[in-house]
Structure 1
Amino acid sequence: MDTVTNEVPQNAEIIEMGGKQFMINAKGDHIALANVKAADKLQDETVRKIIGYAVELNAQINRFRSHTMLDLGAFDALLAQEYGTKIGGKKGNRTYQTFDGLMKVEVKVADQIDFGPELQIAKSLLDECMTEWTADSRPEIQSIITRAFNTDREGQINRSELFMLLRLDIEDERWLRAMDAIRNSIRVTGSKEYVRFYRRASINDQFQAITIDLAKAGA
């Protein structure tokens, strides 16, 4: 697999052959520059410009996150050295706040989980329940079951819907066994830290998230 570099060519590569200029299309064909539509040239230029900015922003965000974790780590080490204490609970979640209470940084540690073969046993038991339940009796539950085991991508279960099943209060013996199988299938494979940033205008206001997310920027 080729490695994607951080260098984004500002202009499409122009190949000189036999005194003529060519551009390479997505199939690897050499297309005479004179035969490339003006709209395609403009689209190529526009995308290259946007991707160039995106790559730079991505690198800047990565550097920012690295500096943030280093700064917080240094502060944690100072507390541990001087006071023999640390911020956060057993899971590693931590909150740092300015003296005036108007800004804070939260570090959340989320478990990364996978599911073992017990999940297939749960699916079989739930299929038995769905077979016996009529379509009119519990359609909303059947819908959740279908979504829970309907993978968005190969090998991936819809986890939010799966956990929703665990919150349902159903006394059917097979259902209870299926819920036990789901719980037993959960494997914690690691953890990941998420950093969130907040600020507010006054101590009486609610904190507003400082969003570093392109889809939510400016919201």
Structure 2
Amino acid sequence: DKRTIEKFEKEAAEMGKGSFKYAWVLDKLKSERERGITIDIALWKFETAKYYITIIDAPGHRDFIKNMITGTSQADAAVLVIASPTGEFEAGIAKSGQTREHALLAYTLGVRQMIVAINKMDEKSVNWSQARYDEIVKETSSFVKKIGYNPEKINFVPISGWAGDNMLEKSPNLAWYKGVTLLEALDAITE
């Protein structure tokens, strides 16, 4: 609820990590909050129009890949979160990049349904750019296809996790985007 998020925002700001208010919903360990990374898996349950969903927040940091595998092995579907800023995206999809590794692990562990959340669309260098979104979709489609996924069955959803844009409701900042929100993409998962 809003009060909880405000509490997390205040606590995060006191630690100099004001932008982590949403991450703290799932990052419960003091060390996770201090370092700004997910270390252990966390569960969060909510209901959509179609499903009861349990989010398994798994670490993305390479030092905690074992925990990521534990979380992913329990999943019916994956939300691959990709950072859109120049440099961050490229590092993730490089030959030894974390984004590439996570997609491969998910497929290897039997997760056949994927949503790609293209995050940080609000970042200055991206500035809600359709061209950047299209570039990321093209590059990501190419590498997930090589792994075994069908990119035509993947929802590529541009979002701002920080501002909440296109997560629950369509964003006026993404007027060019005609696809689904992240919540709608979750509801589009098949059982």
| TM-score interval for Structure 1 and Structure 2 normalised by the shorter chain | under 0.3
